[in-house]
């Protein structure tokens, strides 16, 4: 079974609707939808926004359903120059850029006493996503680093910081927290993010304009990915 987590209801609503043999399971604050998508067993959940919500939901999903893989889908801001609105970023790895224990000699982003700076996504899931990307029209697919933090990025300065300091390709608010908990439990993960804005001063406006389209592309992509 593949666990699919979105931060916002909009990011998973359509997938929940398309689920066959659907079953709804409530566990604490989480409403899981279990069923089949593209013939594959899946369980879907809205985590809520930010790293804390993402981590808690990931652990609840693992404890309840023991998924073989975890997919995090949704939207992100572009950080790399070559990535634009409505493109797809497939995670090579993910870093929590707002973790800062530099006073103790850790590199910025490194969680003290945990594994490396960035959590690596699963190779086979990456390969599959890149292959699916090649078959789909209307957007470019990139492989890169997801920078996660509890902040909506909307400044050139912060964008440049994320690019220079972390070599990030996109920014969002959940991926690396899901990655951390997935890794801790030995569950392979992948983050798939369609670009809703370019994380600059225009980001709030661009986000509002492109969010729906980016989510629609994400839904189509997930259905292909699962096939
Ligand atoms: N999700 C979509 N766009 C984002 C941005 N600019 N910053 C953080 N999370 C995002």
pLDDT recorded at residue 115 = 82
Distance of CA 6 from the midpoint of ligand 1 (Å): 14
Q: Are 207 and 76 in contact (CB under 8 A)?
A: no
pLDDT recorded at residue 178 = 98
Q: Can you tell me which atom of ligand 1 is nearest the CA of 151?
A: 8
Point out which residues pair with 148 in neighbouring strands. Answer: 96, 172
Give the chain's residues under pLDDT 50: none
Domain ranges in the chain are: 2-221
Q: Can you tell me which atom of ligand 1 is nearest the CA of 154?
A: 6
Quote the tokens at residue 192. 């798939």
Active site residues: 11, 197
Q: Can you tell me which atom of ligand 1 is nearest the CA of 172?
A: 9
Q: Are 15 and 222 in contact (CB under 8 A)?
A: yes
Strand 69-78 with 2-6, pairing: parallel
CB under 6 Å to ligand 1: residues?
75-77, 152-154, 171-173, 196-197, 199, 203, 207
Instruction: Take atom 9 of ligand 1 and give the residue whose Cα is closest.
Output: 172
Instruction: Take atom 4 of ligand 1 and give the residue whose Cα is closest.
Output: 77
pLDDT recorded at residue 137 = 92
* List of residues 6+ apart from 12 with CB closer than 8 A: 4, 5, 6, 33, 44, 45, 46, 73
Residue in the block written with tokens 């985590």: 47
pLDDT recorded at residue 116 = 87
pTM summary value: 0.97
ipTM: 0.99
Distance of CA 21 from the midpoint of ligand 1 (Å): 33
Distance of CA 217 from the midpoint of ligand 1 (Å): 17
Distance of CA 16 from the midpoint of ligand 1 (Å): 23
Residue 223 CA to residue 15 CA, distance in Å, equals 8
pLDDT recorded at residue 187 = 98
Instruction: Take atom 1 of ligand 1 and give the residue whose Cα is closest.
Output: 76
Residue 146 CA to residue 78 CA, distance in Å, equals 10
Distance of CA 127 from the midpoint of ligand 1 (Å): 25
pLDDT recorded at residue 190 = 98
- Look at residue 77 and give its three-state secondary structure: strand
Q: Can you tell me which atom of ligand 1 is nearest the CA of 173?
A: 9
DSSP assignments along 112-151, one per residue? TTSS-SEEEPPHHHHHHHHHHHHH--SS-EEEEEEEE-SS
Name the superfamily (CATH) of residues 2-221: Nucleoside phosphorylase domain (3.40.50.1580)
Probe ligand 1: pick from 47, 203, 217, max atoms within 8 Å of CB?
203
- Look at residue 157 and give its three-state secondary structure: helix
């Amino acid at each position: 079974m593949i666990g699919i987590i979105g931060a916002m209801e909009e990011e998973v609503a359509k997938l929940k609707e398309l689920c066959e043999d659907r079953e709804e399971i409530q566990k604490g604050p989480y409403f899981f939808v279990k069923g089949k998508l593209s013939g594959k067993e899946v369980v879907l959940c809205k985590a809520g926004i930010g790293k804390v919500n993402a981590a808690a939901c990931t652990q609840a999903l693992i404890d309840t359903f023991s998924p073989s893989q975890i997919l995090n889908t949704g939207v992100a801001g572009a950080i790399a120059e070559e990535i634009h609105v409505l493109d797809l970023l497939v995670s090579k790895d993910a870093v929590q850029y707002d973790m800062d224990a530099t006073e103790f000699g850790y590199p910025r982003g490194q969680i003290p006493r945990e594994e490396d700076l960035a959590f690596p996504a699963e190779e086979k899931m990456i390969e599959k996503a890149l292959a699916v990307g090649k078959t789909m029209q209307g957007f470019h697919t990139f492989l890169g680093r997801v920078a996660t933090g509890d902040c909506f990025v909307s400044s050139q300065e912060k964008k440049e910081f994320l690019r220079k300091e972390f070599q990030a390709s996109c920014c969002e608010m959940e991926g690396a927290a899901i990655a951390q908990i997935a890794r801790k439990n030995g569950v392979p993960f992948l983050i798939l993010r369609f670009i809703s804005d370019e994380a600059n001063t225009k980001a709030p406006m661009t986000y509002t304009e492109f969010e729906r389209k980016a989510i629609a592309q994400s839904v189509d992509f997930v259905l292909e990915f699962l096939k």
